[in-house]
Structures are given as structure tokens and as C-alpha cells.
Amino acid sequence: MKSWFRNAVFVVTLLLVLGGVAGRFVRRERFVAPEPVRDPGHAETSVRASASRVDAAFAAEWTRARVSPVPLASDLTWARRLSLALTGTVPSVEEIRAFEQVSPAQRTEWWVSHLLQDRRFSDYFAERLARIAVGVEGGPFIVYRRHRLVTWLGEQIHRNRPYDALVRELLTAEGLWTSRPQANFVTVTVDQNNEAEGPDEQKLAARVSRAFLGLRIDCVQCHDDMFGGPWKQRDFHQLAAFFACAEMSLTGVRDNAEKAYEYRYLKQKEKEVVTPRVPFNAGLLPAEGPLRQRLATWVTHRDNRAFARTLVNRTWALLFNRPLHKPIDEIPLDGPFHPAMEVLVDDVVANGFDLQRLIRVIATTEVFRRDSRNADPGHPVTPEQELQFAAFPLTRLRPDQVAGAILQSANLRTIDADSPVFVRVLRYLQQNDFVKRFGDIGEDEFDGFSGTIPQRLVMMNGELVRERTKEDLLMNASTRIGAVAPDDDVAVETAYLAVLTRRPTPAEKAHFVDRLRDNSGEDGKRSHRMGDLFWTLMNSTEFSWNH
């Protein structure tokens, strides 16, 4: 009986594996036209009109600074940088084929809609917003579940919930951190060695000021600004006082209106009860109501332009890998501001803090379409052109983007929510392992970082690149291309599309076609040579940079 049972289990397991393998190769075409945009705020004419106003603002600044813009990039270059920005990976060959079947006049709307309707976008942006809201640390395990917060954020983004409503929920959430994921914004600040003290008002105030207001008010936590700035120590602690009511209970986070915030200011002998006050635009603060709800209303008020500017600046940074204003969390209240930022702020406020529309507008601008190099190779892009966004700024891909690009490049099909379960699980495990080895840059993703020798070694000798370029007909695109491409020209072109999202130059194609035609010895097999080609392209400078 036991033998029969073991045999049955073996047969069922084998059938499941074979079914997964068959599904890997025999899968219906998944790329159809994205759903039409029905919201008037997303209408192409409205988005293009806003994008044109942004372009006009930049053009005026270029004239003032006497800077000439570089030409526009190719469609595939634009598609690559947008895919990296919204999904953390490069387009698949499958997506590239579908993209190129769309008429050039419709490609912008088609590609943006395709990415925004993909769960990869909402999942990827959820992680980016989580880093802004709660950082990357594990937090107090007993009362904090970061993954639940990320999942909740992903669902809100997928539904395109207004950004101001999302932030208000984070600031006012009550309940258990497990059943009310937004409460994790508060519970992450609890000291796991002394949970009885409850949420940390000062950490919450610091996070609110930097993440949602683009201000470093926490710099005056211990003393007044020593460099003549506008902020005083009281400004920070009066902001922190709005969170005094939040406490932990058996039912999770709850508000206790009787609690007060006390602090001993510099040069004072005793603590004093701190009255909650906002550091600017006090007229926007509701006079009555629970403290956290009053604060949330003030932070997200449509007339609180610091909130809208922060949203615009961070979204811009996610698309360009560089913010419009640096530092990203230190935007002066009274300016000066780039005129294009004010155009985008007006647009985002007028359209109800619609994050997806904001992305559409930025992605549609000619600024986002600019090449990263001049048409004349003898005249390289100047630092001033990059600074003014007259050329797309060259930046290193973040570790998660490098990992995502490696994994997608090794697959001809798109790795998304419709992929087989084992493919998605393998991607998750391999990506996390790569980022751990490569080095996660944490929540300060736009401070700029330099490549290191260990990172180059991870690319050249690391397990992920080796596994994704070795001979493996099931898992690796290099082997499959080598096995089924009708000729070497097609094989080389497909490899370039898979890894670099472009076609090879005539010189590049001639070089690698000659290498593939060298069939001497065991290493001369085309499938083996294709693995070498993929390894070479993945280790090129072009692969690891946003351009």
C-alpha cells in the first residue's frame, strides 16, 4: 500500500512538473492592447497638453542658461528607461515585439498604459513608497509587518487610489498591524526593547517631514538651526506632539486623547507639555478633531504645496533616477523652484493627486525622451546639459534594477503575474540573493553611489549571471536562441534586444556573427557561444546604467 502511494505521488508530481514545462513553451499570446483610458484626467490630449507645458518650462530655462538640448532618443531607449523606472527591469523580447507592432504615433500611450496596468508596476512602486514611509529595516517583529504594508501599498497603487488619500490613511491608521497594514507606519517606530512606551513621536515627526513634506525639520530636534535657517527646536517637537495620542493596546494602535507630549528643551531644567502646532501654513490646520486626523488633513491639503512638490520631486526621481530638486528631502518652502516643478504641482493638485496621471505626464514629455548623448560623438554631453535635463542624466542602475534586468534578459517571455509559479518564486529568491550580495543602498536611493570592485566581481563571477547564461534550454534565453534562431544574424540581434533593448550596430553584429560561426571544438557550439555573448553584454557598462 505504501509503495502504491509513493508511486502515485511520484506520477502526480511528474505530471505537474511536465505541465509547468509545457506551459513554459506552449503559452498563449498574452499581449493585447491595454485597456482604453476612460478617465478624462488620463485622456491623451489632456496628458500631452500638460507635458507640453512642462517642456515649455524647460525650454525657457535652457534658453536662459544658454544650453542646447540633445536630440530625442530612439523609441526602444525610451521604452527601456520607462520599464526600468516603473517595473525595475528591462522589457522582454516578447514585449519589444509587441511594442514595435504598434504604430509610432500610438507607442507612447500604448507603452505607458501597458506598464501602469501591469501588477509589476504596482508591486515595484509599493516597495519604493515603503522605503520612503518606513525605510528598509525589519523593525520590531512583534508589532511590525513590513511585507503586509508593502502588499497594502501595492493594492492601493494598482487601484490608482489618490496619493493624498493613501497618505492620510498612513498617518491616521488604527488597529492591528496584521489586519490593518497601514498601521505599520506607526508601529515601525516602537522600541522592541520597550514596547510599553508605544510609538516614537519624534521618529514619526521626522518621517512625516522628510517623506511627505520634503523638509528636514528633524535637523532641529536637539537645538535651533545654527546656520540661520527658519526652523526652531520647538517647530520639530510641536509637530511630534500630534502623535502623542497614538498608543499600543490589545487591539493594536489606538488614539488616547488624554495623552500629552512632554519634552525638555535645550537649556531648560524641566520637561514641559508641548502644544501641537504645525511649522507653517497654520491656517490650513483644522481647528477641531483627533490630533492625527488634523495633522493628516494639513499635510495633504491641496493648498499645502510642500506636499505636492514632494510627490512631484520623488516621482520625477523614480523616472529619471535623479530628483528635479536635490537634496530630495530638503525643498525650500519659499523656493526658488524649477518652473517645471510648479507646472507639475499645479497639474497634480488640479487632478486630485493622481499618481498614474503624473507618471503619464512626465513620461510623455520630450525631456524624458531626450537622448543621453549628443548626435556628434566629438562633442560629449556637458555637465550643464545633464544638470538642466537638456540630456537624459546617466545614472547607475540601483541593485534591484540590475537584478531585475539580469533575470528578465535571460527570459524571452515576460516574467510577470501570468508567469508560472516556479518562475516567479525563482525570480524572487534569486533577486533577493543578488541584491544582498551586490549591496542594497537602502532608503536613500537617489543620493548617488559609485560602483565598487566587489560589485563588478558579483557581475563577472557571481552565481546569478553564471546561472542565467549557462546552457539550459528550459530557463535561459541564450540557450533557446542558440537552439532555434534560423541564422546567426537573428541570434545576435535577438540577444541584443533581450539584454540591451536595442539592435546591434553593423560592426557589433559582424563581430559576434563571426564568433558564432567559429564551431571548432566543444566550446564552438552555438548554444555555448550564445551564453558567452549574453555574459559579455550583461557585463558591459551599457547594461548597468540608465541612459
Report the CATH number at residue 424: 1.10.3130
Q: Residue 12 sits in which domain range? A: 1-30
Q: Mind listing the pLDDT tens digit for each residue in 145-186?
A: 999 999 999 999 999 999 999 999 999 999 999 999 999 999
- What pLDDT is recorded for position 88? 95
277 and 145 share one domain: yes
Q: Are 356 and 327 in contact (CB under 8 A)?
A: no
411 and 522 share one domain: yes
- What pLDDT is recorded for position 18? 44
- What pLDDT is recorded for position 33? 58
- What pLDDT is recorded for position 207? 94
Q: Is the pLDDT of residue 44 over 70?
A: no
Q: Is the pLDDT of residue 124 over 90?
A: yes
164 belongs to a structural domain:
yes
Q: Are 547 and 77 in contact (CB under 8 A)?
A: yes
The set of residues, in sequence order, having a beta carbon less than 8 Å from that of 528 and lying 6+ positions away, is: 471, 482, 522
* Mean pLDDT, residues 101-110 taken together: 95
- What pLDDT is recorded for position 515? 87
Of 299, 324, 358, the last residue of a domain is 299
* Mean pLDDT, residues 88-108 taken together: 95
Instruction: Look at residue 396 and give its three-state secondary structure.
Output: strand
Q: Which pLDDT band holds residue 354 (cuts at 50, 70, 90)?
A: very high
287 belongs to a structural domain:
yes
Of 510, 536, 514, the residue nearest 524 (C-alpha): 514
* Mean pLDDT, residues 227-240 taken together: 81
176 belongs to a structural domain:
yes
Q: Mind listing the pLDDT tens digit for each residue in 184-232?
A: 999 999 987 776 678 999 999 999 999 999 998 877 767 766 656 778 8
Q: E strand or H helix at 248, and its extent?
A: strand 246-249
284 and 413 share one domain: no
416 and 540 share one domain: yes
- What pLDDT is recorded for position 32? 56
Beta bridge partners of 248: 253
The top-scoring range by mean pLDDT among 29-33, 99-103, 265-269 is 99-103
Q: Is the pLDDT of residue 410 over 90?
A: yes
- What pLDDT is recorded for position 539? 94
- What pLDDT is recorded for position 30? 52
529 belongs to a structural domain:
yes
Q: Is the pLDDT of residue 39 over 60?
A: no
Q: Which pLDDT band holds residue 273 (cuts at 50, 70, 90)?
A: confident
- What pLDDT is recorded for position 221? 66
- What pLDDT is recorded for position 79? 98
Q: Which pLDDT band holds residue 12 (cuts at 50, 70, 90)?
A: very low
35 belongs to a structural domain:
no
The rounded Cα 476 to chain-centroid distance in angstroms is 26
Instruction: Look at residue 410 and give its three-state secondary structure.
Output: coil
Mean pLDDT across the chain:
87
| CA dihedral sign of residues 245, 247, 253, 254 | negative
Q: Mind listing the pLDDT tens digit for each residue in 467-478?
A: 888 888 778 889
Buried/exposed 285-321: b ≥16 CB within 10 Å, e otherwise = beeeeebbbbbbbbbbbeebbbbbbbbbbbbbbbbbb
More confident residue, 228 or 392: 392
273 and 410 share one domain: no
Which residues in 311-415 belong to E strands, given as ranges?
Answer: 395-396
- What pLDDT is recorded for position 19? 45
146 and 293 share one domain: yes
Q: Mind listing the pLDDT tens digit for each residue in 54-76?
A: 999 999 999 999 999 999 999 99
Q: Are 135 and 442 in contact (CB under 8 A)?
A: yes
SS (H, E, C) 143-179: HCCHHHHHHHHHHHHHCCCCHHHHHHHHHHCCECCCC
Instruction: Look at residue 495 and give its three-state secondary structure.
Output: helix
Q: Mind listing the pLDDT tens digit for each residue in 412-454?
A: 999 998 888 888 888 888 888 888 888 777 777 776 666 777 7
288 and 434 share one domain: no
Q: Are 354 and 160 in contact (CB under 8 A)?
A: yes
Q: Are 245 and 257 in contact (CB under 8 A)?
A: yes
Degrees to nearest 5, angle at CA 282 with 276 and 284: 115
Q: Is the pLDDT of residue 143 over 50?
A: yes
- What pLDDT is recorded for position 501? 97
Domain count, the chain: 3
Helices (H), 174-247: 184-187, 201-213, 233-240
Percent of the chain at pLDDT > 90 equals 62
Q: Is the pLDDT of residue 10 over 50?
A: no
Q: Are 232 and 225 in contact (CB under 8 A)?
A: yes
Q: Mind listing the pLDDT tens digit for each residue in 485-538?
A: 899 999 999 999 999 999 999 999 999 999 888 765 555 577 788 999 999 999
Of 299, 327, 344, the last residue of a domain is 299
- What pLDDT is recorded for position 450? 66
Q: Is the pLDDT of residue 77 over 90?
A: yes
Of 299, 332, 361, the last residue of a domain is 299
82 belongs to a structural domain:
no
- What pLDDT is recorded for position 188? 94
- What pLDDT is recorded for position 89? 96
96 belongs to a structural domain:
no
460 belongs to a structural domain:
yes
